[in-house]
Each structure stands twice: as structure tokens, then as C-alpha cells.
Structure 1
Amino acid sequence: MKTFAIYLDSEEKQGYSTGDIVSGVVLFENLETLWVRTLLLKVHGQASMSWGGCGPSATAPFPVSSDSTFSEEVEYYQHRQILLSPPYNAGEENLVALQPGKHEFPFRFQLPPRTLPSSFVGKYGRIQYWINAVLERSNNKQTVKRELPVISHIDVGSPALLSPVSRSKEQTVGCWLLTTGPISLSAKIERRGYCNGEAIPIYAEIENCSSRLIVPKAAIFQVQTYLANGKTKIFRQMIANVRGSHIASGRSDSWNGKMLKIPPTIPSILDCSIIKVEYLLAVYVHIPGAKKLVVELPLVMGTIPCNGLGSRTSSACSHLSMDMSWLAQTLPEHPEAPPNYADVVTEEEFSSYLPSCPQPAVWGQQFGGHIVAYIQECRFQPPPLYSESDLYPPSTEERRHVSFMI
């Protein structure tokens, strides 16, 4: 056999998800005549994990004995498909003869509608899906396999992941009775869900009432949790961080949307019974000679980004809507029309503007009365009826393009 391989029709696809169709071919090239009993396609997916006792666990902070081993496996998917089998009249040998050359055997199957955990390889366990092609001959078997990437999509635009998260904490620095003022930390993020490549705007207030020089920092941590035989193993690693400026004694500092970009990482895995992958944003204060002051904000790494504006733009819009909330309470939904001008002017005011001096006769003949009286009468005529649209729009020739240079 010269070639034996599995090819997928969508080689460029990053991952398959629930309900997707997986199709491809099993290709092999033989230089001599092959007598084949069957060609079988097997697909399986499982989560497995194992660790031996050398360090503490979450439930037992003491070292576990070296001869203790914890392991667990969960099967998530199985599929079996026969691609080649001998006909009924193949005889006692029950074999199929394949002439020298290239042979392609197409396959096609659909992933189940239920949720499948995303593919993952971690410190103490993995979640993997494999496609195996087994060629059974008269005297032996040959197997080739390839990994099938599976991803469980998470929409960060869901209402549960759009809610803001905030935490506050305070710590007093000192030893015995020689204590100084407290250090307070308050941190907030606008939402819980983010995707790869996005930047998280961090809002924080740090107040240093101690006598020490402190430094605020923030970091994104990936937390892998493994569950086996009632025991828990946790592995935590930092994937991104950012640093603030020093804060002297008696001073304070504010982060008004300090950006922390998310590096390429796998999405959160929350639907596997023995392996979980979670994320958190830790905003902390480094205090020389003392324990760090830390607040942790939970994060969910998704695959489907929010359809609205970007995080920075939505942040500005949300703050603007909060600052301008008073305007919506004072302005009516529909503006009222101005009052009739004739209703405002009384008869006494109108009579006080009557002319007291004689006018030229020619004006009286032309206007049918005193010209001043005519002017005063026009002066107190009501304005045109109120309309939100211009009843007399200017003509095209009257329009002028005005530009301002700043």
C-alpha cells in the first residue's frame, strides 16, 4: 500500500458543531492487487483525564501519595459506517479484489443535535474526536486516523452575558498594632462575554490610605478544572496582563476603561461533566511586604461576537445614555405648538398702539385708512400655523452651501 489517508471536504473549516454534516473520502493507493475483507469508518469522541498524586488538589490541600492515580472517561459520540464489504456471492474467502491504482471511498455523517463539548487538550486531560478508517485484509489490519475538530458555539450577545460585573474589596496593611490606613479596590467590567481579539475595558477605583507604594495590575486567567472519583484538580494559568502606574501613600487612581486585549484562546467549556475550562479577570494591587489585594470578575469566552457596537463604543454610549437620562424626563415626547399670538396680545395693548398723528391723504387713499393703523394691525397678526415641516421650502436657486472651517 502506497497511500492510506482520510480527507475532509472542508479542510479549511476551523471546527464542526452540533448538527453539522461531515463529509470526505478515504483514499488509498495500492501497487499490487489487494484482497480486502472490509473497509470500516469509525468516529468517536470522548473526554478523558488522569493525574497522579504529587501535588495538592482543590478538595485536599495536602500532597496526595505518589501511588494514588485519579482518572475518568466520558464517551460523547460514536458512529460506525461500512465503506466497502464483499458481495453475498464472494465465496468462502469473503474477500474483494482491488486492482492496483487509486481508490476513493466517500463518507458522510451528521453530528448529533445534542451539545458536544469543544475539542480541548489541557494539562491533565483532553476532549477529542477522531475519525478512524480500518482496512481489514485477509491476514492483517491497517488503520489510519485523523482528528475531527469540534466546537461548541457560545453567543456572547445573550442577555446573561451582557450584564455588567463589579466587585469591591478593602485591606488594611500593617503588623499587630502598627497598622496604617486601608487600601480599597473597586473594579467593574461592562459584560461577562467576550471573544478572541476583543479588548476588555476595565473600570477601577484604587485608593491608597496606607504608608506604602502600591501598583495596580490586571490579568486574564484560564482555569482548568478536572473532576475524577470525587476529587478535583485545578490548573490555573495567566494568558494576558496589564499594569497601571504607581500610587503613592495618600493618593488614589482611576481606570476609566483601561484596555486589556484577549489573546487567541479556546472558548469556555461549561458542558463537560469531568473537564471545565473557565476564565476570570483578576484586578489586583501589588503591596510590598503584604498579601495582594485581589478582586476576581468572571468571564466567558465565546465564539459568536456581540452584534451591537464594539465594547469601547457601547461603553461610551451607555455612559452617555446614563448622563443624559435627565433630558428624557424634562422634554415631552412630542413638542407642543406655540400659542396663538393674537391670544397673547390684549385689546388694551392693541389700542395703545393706535396712531395719534395725522397721515398724508395719499396714504389714506392708497391703503383705505391711516398707514400707521394699517402697520399696527399687521404687527399684531398671528404667525403662521405651527408645523414641524417647512410649508414654504426655499427654491433650489436660493439654497446656499455653507461650510465652516475650524
Structure 2
Amino acid sequence: MREDDESATQRALRATCRGIGTEWKGARPVGLQQTMESTVKKLEVTYNPINERNTFTNGDFMTGQVTLEMGKDCQIESLFVKFKAKADVTWSETYGKTTVVYHSKEKFFTMKQYFIQSKDSKDGEYVQLVNRSSEYSSVVAPGVHVYPFTFQFPAQNVPSSFKGPHGKIVYSLEACLSRSMRPDKKESTTVNFLSKADLSDISALQTPQRMSMDKKMKVFTSGSLAMEVNLEKSGFLQGEGIKVVSFIKNGSSREIKPKYCIYRKQSFFAKGRRKVHTKELIKEEGSPIPQKVSQTVTQVIAIPHDAEPSILNCNIIKAEYRLKVYLDIKFASDPAIKFDIVILRGSQGSAGLPPSYSAAAGLGPEAFGNSAPAPWNPAPPSGNPAPPAWNPAPPAWNPAPPSGNPAPPAWNPAPPAWNPAPPAWNPAPPAWNPAPTPGNPAPPPGNQAPLQPSSVSSPLPPSYGTHQLYPSPNDFSQKKF
């Protein structure tokens, strides 16, 4: 194509390409795409693990950072990080020559934090953590830029992370960069979440279960069978043993053997249809019971430590467990009793929280969260001028000696040898709160004294890290738009 035949638009494009150092060939600029990609060299979103299992639970704070590497100066319209949770179900079925796809999704929450936001943006239906101490420029210089953020997991009942054959429940972080006349650039990562059990289910999970059945034998076996099975409760922790007590009356003409099976049942729902997937996890058997004998049998079945917790609080995905107790009889159908059981997550420390126990539930550590203040982080006494208030002299639990024993016992001298003043473990100043380092004569305002233990289950938001290009934010507040 000759230059005389070019339209005004093509001549303008040619001039634009020359201005940015690219070459125009035919109907498209060569090297323009490479130039666009070289402007944004890297966009990445990461978060900071809080425990060895790299899992979070209700109320936990999650901190992280969005890393942006630029090759040259760039005008950015918006840069934000999105924290969201959703369930998604998909499967297909074939009817003759027609294939029907069943799909459904459920959103639990969406939260965003903007680092750079356009003035014309109308995105306001979220809870945003506002950083008042620093503002980020929309013109980003070449180099590596780190934008820290923090989010808090909802305290309400939301399901755990899950992945099955026809659906999944995903918690994810997504960073999005928008520029004028450019496609948005996005990067994401998933987060593992384990939900706490719903407190409203405590009484139901602790209720004993009992079921019975009778069966009359036919054809190859004569007589009858009777079985009654008892469970202490229906809620169990990962790794806990299920005590199964069965009274079996073998009135048949054959020897029988009690057997046990725990299996998982996953249900997926979409467009009024249900897809079910089952899998056996444990199979055990007891000792044979001779014919015409009645016997009480006790069997303890251990739940695997890695068994996925039950999911009962999602509308389109259910993960349930059942215990099947049945009698194996040769040449006859096996009579069976099935119990619905709930598997709860086992002991697992959370961010900044020690293991906790629910005395009312009796289900063991961390089954239902932490409702009491953390006892392992008390505020140290100021300067320790006198013995602590909890150890007066004489102690309330050590009254005066009775009349028949005028001298105090040898193990309680005054003052006690184990309570010097000040105690050896609390020197002044304490070893864990040293004086400010040189170059920082005054401690920061936010570090005057250790924080008092909170009565809520979630810790305070961790402080952000620093970065050479931008000051670290240190002021948090939650604001609804």
C-alpha cells in the first residue's frame, strides 16, 4: 500500500507508532503489544501465613501485599485487591443427542481495598479498610512497588474451603490493575479456610442416638435377627473415636458377623437437580456371633485426622457423613442401620490465639471457637513495686494456724522463698520490652504498653510492613460505602 493511498486514520496510526518507537506494517503496528507488556512487568498478590497448616478461620485477620513492577512511568486509573468467597457447581448430562449443562453458584461475601481509585468510580457496595495516613499516586514510577493490605474473615457462619468432583468452595484474593485504553490485568491466589462449628448445633450434636431393627430370615436361613445400636452423640472431631455399642440377638440358623462402615456423601445442586457422589472411608468388622446367641458388642472406630469437616451451611454443596452398622449373613441380604454423623475440625491454633475448649459442648479443643480472653498474655505490673495483687501476704487461702499449732508450717515462711520482690522472671525493665534502639529515642505512640487480652476471638489487625517507595500505612478503620 502506497502512502498516498493511506487514509487519515492510517497516517495517524503510523505517526503514533513512530512516536513510541514501533514500526507500521500493513494494517497493524509491529511491537506495540510488546511495548504495552513491558510497561507492567509484574503484578502479584500474596498473603502471610499465620500457622503451620496455612489455614484461617472465622474472625482471623489476613495481611498481604500486592507487588507491582513497572518498566517506565505509567498513568493508572485504578488498582485494588478483592477478597471474595463463592461456591460453584457444574456438571453435564447427556440425553440422546442433547447435552445439558447444570450450573449454579452462590456468593458468600466480597470485599475490596483500593490503592488507586478513579474519581468516577461508582463501586461502593463493599466494606473497605481505609488507610488515612498515606495516599498513593496514580502516576507510578519505574521500579517495584508494594501495596500492603489487610482483611478480616467474617465472624458469621460460612462454609469451609472445599473441592469435589462436581463443585468447589473457594476463598480467593484478586489484584486488578486498570489503565486507559488497555485491558485490565488481573492476578489471583486462593486461601484455605476452615469454618468453626455453629454454636446453635451444640445440643443436637451432643444428643445420644439409638436405632433398632428386626428381620425374619427366609429361603436359605431360618429364624430371626434383632439389633439395637447406640451412639453417645452425633458430633465428632477429626481423629476422635466413635464408640458403637450394639446389642445383637442372633436367633437365626447361621453365624453372623457385625461390620461397620463410615462413608462420605457429597451432594451438588443446580437447576432443581442433584448430583450425588459417595466414597467409603473406613471399613471394620467385629467378632462372629454364633447361632442362637445374644451378645453386646462394643466397637471403637477412629475418624481419620485428615477427614474433611462436614459442610452443612451451603445451599448448593453438602458434605455429609454416615455410619453404617450391618450384619454380614451368608446367602441372605444384610440388615443395616445408618446414623448421620457430623465431623468437626480438630485442634488447630489460630493467629495469635491459643487452643480453646468449649466446656458446654465437651467436644474438645477449638470445636466451637474461643469465647474467653487469652490467659497467656497478661499485662505486666507497672515497675513491679510490690508483690502482685493476686498473692497478698498472708494469702487468703492460707489462714492463721489453728490454736493447736502455734508455729507456722515450715513450708510457708514469711516471706515465701518462691515469691521474692521483685520476681526473677519480671525484672525492670522486662527483657521482652527492651529500651528503644539507638536512632529512635522515643518509642512509637502505638507501643507504649503491651495490649490487654481481648474478649473477642479474633486478634487485632497486624501492622503493615514498610517499603522503600511508599510509607507503610498504620491507621485502620472499617467504613461502609
Q: Is 191-200 or 132-141 further displaced after alignment?
A: 132-141
Task: Give the structure 2 partner of residue 161 of structure 1.
Answer: 205
From the two aligned structures, give the one with the greater helix fraction.
1
Task: Give the structure 2 partner of residue 149 of structure 1.
Answer: 192
Take 2:119 and 2:273, find their aligned partners in 1: how far apart are those partners?
A: 52
- TM-score, normalised to structure 1, is 0.65
Cα 1:66–1:122 shift into 2, 3 Å: farther
**Aligned AA for 2:300?**
M
Take 2:78 and 2:313, find their aligned partners in 1: how far apart are those partners?
A: 37
Q: Where does 1:269-308 land on structure 2 (aligned, <5 Å)?
A: 269-303=311-345, 307=358
Task: Give the structure 1 partner of residue 153 of structure 2.
Answer: 111
Task: Give the structure 2 partner of residue 99 of structure 1.
Answer: 142
Question: Is the 8 Å Cα contact of residues 37 and 96 (structure 1) preserved in structure 2?
Answer: no
Take 2:198 and 2:316, find their aligned partners in 1: how far apart are those partners?
A: 23
Describe the SS at the equivalent of 2:331: coil
Task: Give the structure 2 partner of residue 261 of structure 1.
Answer: 302
Take 1:247 and 1:310, find their aligned partners in 2: how far apart are those partners?
A: 34
Question: Is the 8 Å Cα contact of residues 157 and 196 (structure 2) preserved in structure 1?
Answer: no
Take 1:290 and 1:137, find their aligned partners in 2: how far apart are those partners?
A: 72
Task: Give the structure 2 partner of residue 322 of structure 1.
Answer: none
From the two aligned structures, give the one with the greater strand fraction.
1
Describe the SS at the equivalent of 1:41: strand
Structure 2 residue corresponding to 1:50, chosen from 67, 73, 90? 90
1:185 and 2:224 correspond:
no
Per-residue deviation, 1:218: 0.9
**Aligned AA for 2:301?**
L
Take 2:289 and 2:221, find their aligned partners in 1: how far apart are those partners?
A: 19
1:10 and 2:49 correspond:
yes
Take 1:14 and 1:206, find their aligned partners in 2: how far apart are those partners?
A: 46
Take 2:260 and 2:68, find their aligned partners in 1: how far apart are those partners?
A: 53
Per-residue deviation, 1:140: 4.2
Cα 1:233–1:26 shift into 2, 3 Å: same
Structure 2 residue corresponding to 1:171, chosen from 200, 215, 221? 215
Take 1:64 and 1:150, find their aligned partners in 2: how far apart are those partners?
A: 41
Take 1:248 and 1:64, find their aligned partners in 2: how far apart are those partners?
A: 53
Take 2:176 and 2:324, find their aligned partners in 1: how far apart are those partners?
A: 49
Describe the SS at the equivalent of 2:217: strand
Larger radius of gyration: 1
Q: Is 18-27 or 233-242 further displaced after alignment?
A: 18-27
Higher relative CO (CA 8 A, sep ≥ 6), structure 1 or 2? 2
Question: Is the 8 Å Cα contact of residues 50 and 56 (structure 2) preserved in structure 1?
Answer: no
Per-residue deviation, 1:135: 2.5
Take 2:96 and 2:247, find their aligned partners in 1: how far apart are those partners?
A: 41
Task: Give the structure 1 partner of residue 112 of structure 2.
Answer: 80
1:191-227 CA-partner distances (Å, limit 9, x unpaired)? 1111111111111122322223322111111111222
Question: Unpaired runs of 5+ in structure 1?
Answer: 55-62, 89-93, 313-389, 394-406
Cα 1:208–1:82 shift into 2, 3 Å: same
Take 1:86 and 1:392, find their aligned partners in 2: how far apart are those partners?
A: 86
Question: Is the 8 Å Cα contact of residues 17 and 116 (structure 1) preserved in structure 2?
Answer: no
Aligned length: 301
Take 2:87 and 2:325, find their aligned partners in 1: how far apart are those partners?
A: 33
- TM-score, normalised to structure 2, is 0.55
Cα 1:292–1:2 shift into 2, 3 Å: farther
1:320-366 CA-partner distances (Å, limit 9, x unpaired)? xxxxxxxxxxxxxxxxxxxxxxxxxxxxxxxxxxxxxxxxxxxxxxx
Per-residue deviation, 1:288: 2.2
Per-residue deviation, 1:167: 1.0
1:197 and 2:236 correspond:
no
Question: Is the 8 Å Cα contact of residues 236 and 343 (structure 2) preserved in structure 1?
Answer: yes
Take 2:93 and 2:332, find their aligned partners in 1: how far apart are those partners?
A: 31
Per-residue deviation, 1:164: 0.8
Question: Is the 8 Å Cα contact of residues 73 and 139 (structure 2) preserved in structure 1?
Answer: no
**Aligned AA for 2:148?**
P
1:70 and 2:121 correspond:
no
Task: Give the structure 2 partner of residue 224 of structure 1.
Answer: 266
1:214 and 2:256 correspond:
yes
**Aligned AA for 1:9?**
N
Question: Is the 8 Å Cα contact of residues 171 and 192 (structure 2) preserved in structure 1?
Answer: yes
Take 2:362 and 2:285, find their aligned partners in 1: how far apart are those partners?
A: 23
Take 1:391 and 1:168, find their aligned partners in 2: how far apart are those partners?
A: 65
Per-residue deviation, 1:52: 2.0
1:87-126 CA-partner distances (Å, limit 9, x unpaired)? 99xxxxx9623222x3210112233443222211112111
Root-mean-square deviation (CA, aligned residues, Å) is: 3.4
Describe the SS at the equivalent of 2:205: helix
Question: Is the 8 Å Cα contact of residues 215 and 245 (structure 1) preserved in structure 2?
Answer: yes
Question: Is the 8 Å Cα contact of residues 241 and 260 (structure 1) preserved in structure 2?
Answer: no
Describe the SS at the equivalent of 1:68: strand
Describe the SS at the equivalent of 1:67: strand
Question: Is the 8 Å Cα contact of residues 172 and 179 (structure 1) preserved in structure 2?
Answer: no
Cα 1:64–1:121 shift into 2, 3 Å: farther
**What percentage of residue pairs aligned between the two structures are identical?**
26
Task: Give the structure 2 partner of residue 58 of structure 1.
Answer: none
Cα 1:213–1:20 shift into 2, 3 Å: same
Q: Is 268-277 or 35-44 further displaced after alignment?
A: 35-44
